C-alpha cells in the first residue's frame, strides 16, 4: 500500500485545520497564556522548519532583529522517599547528585545545537539551573504526595533567535543526571512535567504559561548574566544607543518618531532620550498634584501608577548621558535625539534648506561614529562620503541601519 505524504504547507494546513477543530481559532495578544482550552499559541500557520517541498531545514535568521531573549523551563524527577533522603543527606555513591545535575544542565544548554538538529548555535549569556526538593506535604508538595526534585532552568541571550530549546535542554539534562546518579537504588524514578514556563524577546514578544508566572519571574531575574557566573544574578547591561544628530529644523524628531514606530513593529523594545538644548523645560501638567509638589519646592518629583512611572529633578549641572543610559536595561535599543558631541553611534539628519540658511554644510557633523546619513534628494546628490545615504522620509531603511549596528 502506498503511503500518502503531505508535503510543505499542506502539512501545516492540515495540522492547523485539526487544531482549529479541536480548540477553535487561536488569537495572539501581547502576552499569550497557555491554557487547557488553548493549547496552541502559534502566531503563524506554517511550520518554519519545513520548506515548501516538505523537507526539513534550518530557518535563516540572518535578517531577524537582535534582541535580549530569555527562556525559563522546568522539569521534575519523582522517586522513592528513601532515594530523596539519600540525595539530601549526600549518601549517593557517585557523589554530590544535585551539584552534578546543576553543572550538567548548564553544560547541556551550551551544547543544545549539537543535540537538536535544527537549533542554531547561540552565544549564551546566561545559564542557571536551580534544584529544590519536592516535599511530601506542605508548601511545594504535589497533590499526589510523591517526592523528588524540581528543576528550574533559566537561559538568556542577546541574539537573533530564541533560547527556549536551551532552557528545556538544561532542565531535561539536570533531571536525567539525577536519574543516572541514583538509578542503582531506584530504577522506578520518573521524569515528568518538562515544559516551557516563560519566553521573552523577539517578534512574538512575551509568552507565559498560565499559573507559572511566579516561578518564571523568579527564574528570569538577572538573565543577562554570563554563563560562568550562573550562580549569582548580575545586573542587566544597559541597551545600546544610537543618536540622531542634526541642526535645528533638520527633521530629527519626525524621523526619530517614524524609526521608533518601525523598530517597535519589528519586535524590538525601544527606549528614547531627547536632549533639550535650552536651560529649562516643563513636562508636568500645570495644576496636577505632582506639578503642585514641584511648585511648592520639591527638587525631585516622582509619579507612579500601576503600569507607568515618571520622575524629574532639578540639577545644578546637566545630568550625564552615560548615567541616564545606564538605567535603560529594560529595552533592546535606545534612540537618542541630539547629543551631537557625545560620540555615540549616530545617524546624521540633514536638509539642504537648513544648510542654506546656516550657510554651511550639516555634513560637518559626520564623524568616525556615523552609521549613515538621512537627507533629502537635493542634498543626497552632492554627498561624496563613503557612508550609506537614506531618504529622510524612508524610516524602514534607517531602521535597517540601526538593526545592522545592533547585529555587529
**Are 171 and 38 within 8 A, CB to CB?**
no
End-to-end, the C-alpha distance of the chain in Å comes to: 54
**Annotated catalytic residue 63:** no
- The torsion region of residue 137 among left (phi > 0), alpha (psi -120 to 50) and beta comes to beta
Distance of CA 262 to the CA centre of its chain: 17
List Cβ neighbours of 234 (8 Å cut-off, separation of 6 or more). Answer: 222, 224, 225, 226
Distance of alpha carbon 252 from alpha carbon 392, whole angstroms = 9
Q: Which of 180, 229, 233, 284 is catalytic?
A: 180
**Are 147 and 135 within 8 A, CB to CB?**
yes
- The radius of gyration of the chain from alpha carbons, rounded to an integer in Å, stands at 27
- Could you please report the per-residue DSSP string of 325-337? HTT--SSSEEEEE
Distance of CA 249 to the CA centre of its chain: 35
Q: How far is CA 159 from CA 128, 184, 242, 306, in A?
A: 18, 42, 18, 31
**Are 227 and 125 within 8 A, CB to CB?**
yes
Within 201-256, strands assigned E span 206-209, 241-245
**Are 167 and 185 within 8 A, CB to CB?**
no
Distance of alpha carbon 301 from alpha carbon 293, whole angstroms = 7
Pairing of strands 308-313, 241-245: unpaired
Active site residues: 180
Amino acid at each position: 500500500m502506498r503511503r500518502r505524504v503531505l508535503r510543505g504547507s499542506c502539512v501545516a494546513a492540515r495540522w492547523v485545520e485539526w487544531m482549529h477543530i479541536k480548540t477553535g481559532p487561536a488569537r495572539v495578544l501581547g502576552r499569550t497564556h497557555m491554557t487547557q482550552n488553548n493549547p496552541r499559541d502559534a502566531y503563524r500557520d506554517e511550520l518554519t522548519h519545513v520548506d515548501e517541498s516538505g523537507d526539513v531545514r534550518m530557518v535563516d535568521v540572518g535578517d531577524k532583529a537582535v534582541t535580549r531573549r530569555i527562556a525559563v523551563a522546568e522539569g521534575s524527577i519523582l522517586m522513592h522517599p528513601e532515594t530523596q533522603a539519600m540525595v539530601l543527606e549526600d549518601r549517593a555513591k557517585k557523589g554530590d547528585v544535585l551539584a552534578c545535575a546543576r553543572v550538567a544542565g548548564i553544560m547541556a544548554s551550551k551544547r543544545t545545537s549539537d543535540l537538536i538538529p535544527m537549533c542554531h548555535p547561540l552565544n549564551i549569556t546566561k545559564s542557571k539551573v536551580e534544584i529544590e526538593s519536592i516535599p511530601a506535604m506542605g508548601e511545594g508538595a504535589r497533590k499526589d504526595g510523591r517526592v523528588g526534585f524540581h528543576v528550574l532552568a533559566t537561559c538568556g541571550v542577546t541574539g537573533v533567535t530564541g533560547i527556549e530549546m536551551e532552557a528545556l535542554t538544561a532542565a531535561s539534562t539536570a533531571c536525567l543526571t539525577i536519574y543516572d546518579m541514583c538509578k542503582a537504588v531506584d530504577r522506578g524514578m520518573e521524569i515528568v512535567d518538562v515544559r516551557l514556563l516563560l519566553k521573552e524577546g523577539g517578534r512574538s514578544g512575551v509568552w507565559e504559561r498560565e499559573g507559572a508566572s511566579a516561578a518564571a519571574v523568579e527564574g528570569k531575574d538577572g538573565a543577562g548574566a554570563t554563563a560562568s557566573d550562573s550562580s549569582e544574578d548580575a545586573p542587566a547591561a544597559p541597551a545600546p544607543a544610537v543618536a540622531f544628530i542634526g541642526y535645528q529644523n533638520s527633521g530629527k524628531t519626525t524621523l526619530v518618531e517614524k524609526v521608533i514606530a518601525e523598530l517597535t513593529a519589528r519586535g524590538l523594545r525601544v527606549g528614547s532620550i531627547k536632549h533639550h538644548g535650552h536651560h529649562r523645560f516643563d513636562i508636568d501638567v500645570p495644576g496636577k498634584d505632582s506639578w503642585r509638589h514641584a511648585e511648592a519646592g520639591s527638587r525631585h518629583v516622582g509619579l507612579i501608577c500601576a503600569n507607568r512611572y515618571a520622575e524629574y529633578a532639578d540639577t545644578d549641572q546637566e545630568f550625564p548621558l552615560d548615567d541616564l543610559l545606564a538605567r535603560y536595561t529594560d529595552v533592546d535599543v535606545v534612540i537618542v535625539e541630539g547629543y551631537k558631541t557625545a560620540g555615540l553611534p549616530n545617524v546624521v539628519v540633514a536638509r539642504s534648506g537648513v544648510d542654506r540658511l546656516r550657510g554651511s554644510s550639516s555634513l560637518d557633523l559626520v564623524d568616525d561614529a556615523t552609521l549613515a546619513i538621512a537627507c533629502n534628494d537635493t542634498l543626497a546628490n552632492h554627498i561624496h562620503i563613503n557612508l550609506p545615504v537614506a531618504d529622510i522620509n524612508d524610516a524602514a531603511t534607517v531602521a535597517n541601519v540601526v538593526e545592522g549596528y545592533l547585529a555587529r
